[in-house]
Amino acid sequence: MLDTRIKVQTPEGIELALSPAGLLPRCLARLIDTALKAAVYLLLLLIANLLLGDIAPVFIYLGAFAIYWLYDLLFETRNNGRTPGKAVMGIRVVNSNGAPVTLSTSVIRNLLRVVDFLPLMYLLGAASTLLTHTFQRLGDIVAGTYVVYAHGDHEMLSRDNRMEKPLPLSLRAVDHQAIMLFDERISALSEERVNEIAGLLGGHISGTPAEIRAQLQAHARWLTGGSA
Amino acid sequence: MKQNDFIATHNDFWNELEQILQTGNINSLGKEQRRQLPHSYRRVCHHLSLAQLRNYSPALQNRLNRIALQGHQLFYARKSRFLQDAGRFFAVDFPRSVRAHKYYVLVSALVFFGPLIALLVAITNDPTIAYAVIDPETAEVYKEMYGERGTIKDETAVGMFGYYIWNNVSIALRTFAMGLVFGLGAIFILLFNGTYIGAVAGLLTTAGLGNNFWPFVAGHGAFELTAIVLAGASGMKIGFALLIPGLNSRRQALKNAAQAALPMIYGFVMLLILAAAIEAFWSPNAWFSNLTRYAIGVTLWVLVIAYLLFGGRGQESRG
């Protein structure tokens, strides 16, 4: 329904919808990962210098290498497309067919961080994320990966269908969907927003906002109705 | 069937499947669950299809979409076969990939070795040219570094190994990545390194330190310089795909080029690890005469080139 969804065809002949994650959750995820990397590196410096003496340098260099080049790669391939930062933000990396990211695509998207980082602070990657409708940075485009929300949006299934009311006029399928979506999202919206949408959606109904809202909900119940 | 009846009929099945998919890992499922998974997955796909067709509410469609997506991810997850295939990779895939990109490799070699050799020759004729590239203070550091054999050995070899990995592999990986900037990034790094290495070599040779410098680099040169050339080639490959995508869209051309360049990337990382080991543990030691060390260096060059030219010929392609 939303135009940012990415549709993926599966061999079973169905279309799955992926919700790509926008700039903000991705920036926050990166911030968390960067902080974590820095913390691990400082810890490594401390431990190596205190305990290892002469052989400390090799651990520091190899550790720096692993943190810089392998951290994202290992977490993405081992933990279902999620680095710790991404896991906190509820996002993950998937291949373009919706399956979990593989070694080869993860290698490519993470090596190309170098370019996305240019000229500083991931400016190029951020621009690319904003300019592509699939929210991909350059590394994602070249690797063929998406960063998507791990879970869909709202879910509300149990509905009281006692007060259902048939629709007085014949509407298109998308309008049915809009009425049901309105009903399902009411709990997540502010009172003012609910009334505003009710006014737009129930243009044919006269009455106070509360009455319009109640009638729309009754229509929604009628649409989903049944014996349950 | 109205939506609520549909939910009432199947809700238990969805809840159960959600529980199973929650684990997210095929290995943690029981034998019976694993046997059931294909069937359950197809069934929920069917339900999603029905929900879309019958215009059930967005919440229900979202839920079924999520279950089907999780099932799809579990069902179609590919196990990485890289480690299992490592043997075949070294024997066949890597040298084949290099030959498949021979023009990129040749251009990359030209861009890297061209300024290196030109500068070396120029500096041999006129030593002051070196200072056009290296500032005098840094030049003194290099001269001191190679002044006496002992100064190199002072660093613990293991530490240097770590440093070479961190420094050299990072530069090579960056060379590949910067190739995305229309190939120019990779070319710039190649030119820069070719020029700089040529200048340092010329500087030390004309300063009379050639007998310390050349035997030192002879051992690991074959691996390290080849790896730099391959890093440049892989970077040019993606830059070229961006410039001239051919019959594909730019997006698709980039994807194909990066996938095709992957064996070279794995390959040059491996060469650089090898080079780092040699540079750290073999190169600083003077157990053998300079002549022996040159001979070993030349032999390694011949082996590396022969490996890349002839490795994996006549083998069936994995396709």
Q: In this complex, do B262 and A173 lie within 8 Å of one another by their Cβ atoms?
A: no
Find the residue in A nearest to B180 (Cα): A115
Q: Is A213 found in the same domain as A128?
A: no
Residue-level pLDDT at A72: 95
The Cβ of residue A198 has, within 10 Å, a number of other Cβ atoms equal to: 23
Select from A110, A104, A98, A102 the least CA-distant residue to A140.
A110
Does A107 contact B159 at a Cβ distance shorter than 8 Å?
A: no
Within a domain: residue B107? yes
Q: Does B6 touch chain A (CB under 8 A)?
A: yes
Task: Using an 8 Å CB-CB cutoff, list chain A residues near B258.
Answer: 108, 142-143
d(CA B184, CA B235): 9
Residue A165 placed within a domain: no
ipTM for this prediction: 0.81
Asked if B284 and B216 touch (Cβ cutoff 8 Å), the reply is yes
Asked if B33 and B102 sit in the same domain, the reply is no
Residue B193, CA distances (Å) to A114, A182, B285 in order: 18, 62, 25
Residue among B24, B42, B161 whose CB faces A58 most closely: B161
- The pLDDT of residue A113 is 93
Q: Are A101 and A27 found together in one domain? A: yes
Last residue of some domain: B11, B41, B75? B75
User: B254 and chain A: CB distance < 8 Å anywhere?
Assistant: yes
Q: How many helices (H) and strands (E) does chain A have?
A: 11, 4
Alpha-carbon distances, residue B195 vs B115, B134, B235, B237 (angstroms): 5, 10, 19, 22
Question: How big is chain A, counted in residues?
Answer: 228
pLDDT exceeds 90 at position B173: yes
Quick one: DSSP state of residue B57?
-
A182 & A100 share domain: no
Contacts of A226 in chain B (CB under 8 A): 1-8
Please check whether residues B58 and B114 belong to one and the same domain: no
- A26 lies in the same domain as A124: yes
Q: B156 and A57 in contact by Cβ < 8 A?
A: yes
Q: Give the pLDDT score at A157.
A: 52
Please say whether the dihedral angle defined by the alpha carbons of residues A145, A146, A151 and A156, taken in this order, is positive or negative: negative
Mean pLDDT of B297-311: 94
How many angstroms separate the CA of residue B46 from the nearest CA in chain A? 8
List B residues 132-171 in contact with A (Cβ-Cβ < 8 A): 156, 158-159, 161-163, 165-166, 169-170
Partner residue facing B180 (CB), from A17, A112, A153: A112
Is A15 inside any structural domain? yes
Range with the poorest average pLDDT among A204-208, B11-15, B250-254: A204-208
Q: What percent of chain B has pLDDT over 90?
A: 50
pLDDT tens-digit series, residues A45-62? 999 888 877 778 888 999
- Per the structure, the count of domains in chain B is 2
**Which of A112, A134, A149 is the last residue before a domain boundary?**
A149
| Same structural domain, B9 and B156 | no
Cis preceding linkage at B38, omega within 30? no
Q: Using CB atoms, which residue from B24, B66, B180 is nearest to A152?
A: B66
In a domain, A106, yes or no: yes
| Residues 23-42 in B contacting A (C-alpha not used; CB under 8 Å) | 24, 41-42
* Predicted confidence band of residue B316 (pLDDT cuts 50, 70, 90): low
A100 and A209 belong to one structural domain: no
Q: Do B73 and A59 touch (CB under 8 A)?
A: no
Residue type at A185 in one-letter notation: R
* B248 and B294 housed in the same domain: yes
In angstroms, the CA B169 to CA B281 distance is 17
Q: Which helix (H) or strand (E) holds A7?
A: strand A6-9
Q: Could you tell me which residue, A161 or A225, shows the higher pLDDT?
A: A225
Interval B4-42: pLDDT, tens:
888 888 989 998 888 888 776 777 778 888 888 899 999
Q: Does residue B22 sit within a domain?
A: yes
Q: Compute how many other C-beta atoms are within 10 angstroms of the C-beta atom of residue B253.
A: 20
Residue B157, domain member (yes or no): yes
Give, as one character, the DSSP assignment of residue A156: -
Query: 3-state DSSP call for residue B67?
Result: helix
- Give the residue from A25, A157, A42 showing the smallest Cα distance to A90: A25
Do residues A180 and A220 lie in contact, with contact meaning Cβ atoms separated by under 8 Å? Answer: yes
Residue A1 in domain? no
Give the C-alpha separation, A19 to A28, whole Å.
Answer: 17
- Mean residue pLDDT of chain A comes to 85
Distance from CA of A53 to the nearest CA of B (A): 11
Name the most confidently modeled range: A49-58, B26-35, B112-121, B157-166: B112-121
Report yes or no: B3 at the A interface, CB cutoff 8 Å.
Answer: yes
pLDDT band at A206 (very low <50, low <70, confident <90, very high): confident
- Pairwise CB contact (< 8 Å): B159 & A55: yes
How many Å lie between the alpha carbon of A28 and the closest alpha carbon of chain B?
Answer: 24
* Alpha-helix runs per DSSP H in chain B: 3-22, 31-53, 58-75, 86-88, 94-100, 102-125, 130-133, 136-145, 149-154, 157-164, 170-178, 184-206, 210-243, 250-281, 290-310
Chain B residues within 8 A of A161 when measuring between CB atoms: 4
Are A93 and A145 found together in one domain?
yes
CA B251 to chain centre: 21
Q: Which residue of B has its CA nearest to A52?
A: B159
Instruction: Say whether residue B73 is in contact with chain A using an 8 A CB cutoff.
Output: yes
Find the mean pLDDT for residues A162-182.
78
Give me the domain span that covers residue B210. Answer: 86-310
User: What chain A residue is nearest to B50 in terms of C-alpha separation?
Assistant: A14
User: Do A57 and B156 contact (CB within 8 A), yes or no?
Assistant: yes
Residue A46 Cα, gap to closest chain B Cα (Å): 17
Query: Mind telling me how many Å the CA of B265 is from chain A's nearest CA?
Result: 10
- Please report, to the nearest 10 degrees, the dihedral formed by the alpha carbons of residues A87, A91, A92, A94 taken in order: 170
Query: Are B268 and B289 contained in the same domain?
Result: yes
Contact list, B166 vs chain A (CB under 8 Å):
61-62, 64-65
Average of per-residue pLDDT across B178-202 = 94
Residue A182 sits in the same domain as residue A137: no
Query: For chain A, what is the domain count?
Result: 2
- Looking at A204-213, B236-245, B298-307, which range is the least confident one? A204-213
Does residue B318 belong to any structural domain of this protein? no
Dihedral sign for Cα atoms in the order B27, B32, B33, B37: positive
Chain B residues closer than 8 Å to A15 by CB: 52
In this structure, are A141 and A89 located in the same domain? yes
B105 & B228 share domain: yes
> Is there a single domain that holds both residue A182 and residue A105?
no
Q: Number of Cβ pairs closer than 8 Å across A and B?
A: 175
pLDDT level of residue A1 (50, 70, 90 thresholds): very low
Residues 211-250 of B with CB under 8 A from A: 238
* Shared-domain flag, residues A131 and A201: no
> Is residue B319 situated within a structural domain?
no
Residue A54, burial from CB neighbour count under 10 angstroms (0-12, 13-18, 19+): exposed
- Give the pLDDT mean for A150-175: 67
Which segments of B126-156 does DSSP mark as H helices, in order? 130-133, 136-145, 149-154
Same domain, A99 and A203: no
Alpha carbon distance B41, B69 (integer Å): 10
pLDDT of residue B81: 66
Residue A186 lies in a domain: yes
Q: Is residue A19 part of a domain?
A: yes
3-state secondary structure of A168: coil
Q: Write down the pLDDT at residue B171.
A: 94
Quick check: B155 pLDDT over 60? no
Residue A164 lies in a domain: no
Q: Range of A187's domain? A: 173-224
CA dihedral B78, B84, B90, B96 (to 10 degrees): -40
Instruction: Check whether residue B119 and residue B216 sit in a common domain.
Output: yes
* CA dist., res. B91 & res. B301, Å (int): 18
**Mean per-residue pLDDT, B218-225:** 92
pLDDT at B151: 47
pLDDT above 70 covers a percentage of chain A that reads 92
Token couple for B212? 């310390």
The helix (run of H) or strand (run of E) holding residue A61 is: helix A56-65
> Is A202 a member of any domain?
yes
Q: From chain B, pick out residues whose CB is under 8 angstroms from the CB of A97.
A: 76
Q: Let me know whether A10 and A112 are in one domain.
A: yes
> Does some domain include residue B280?
yes
Which of B 169-208 lie inside 8 A of A, CB atoms?
A: 169-170, 173-174, 176-178, 180-181, 185
Per-residue pLDDT at A220 exceeds 70:
yes
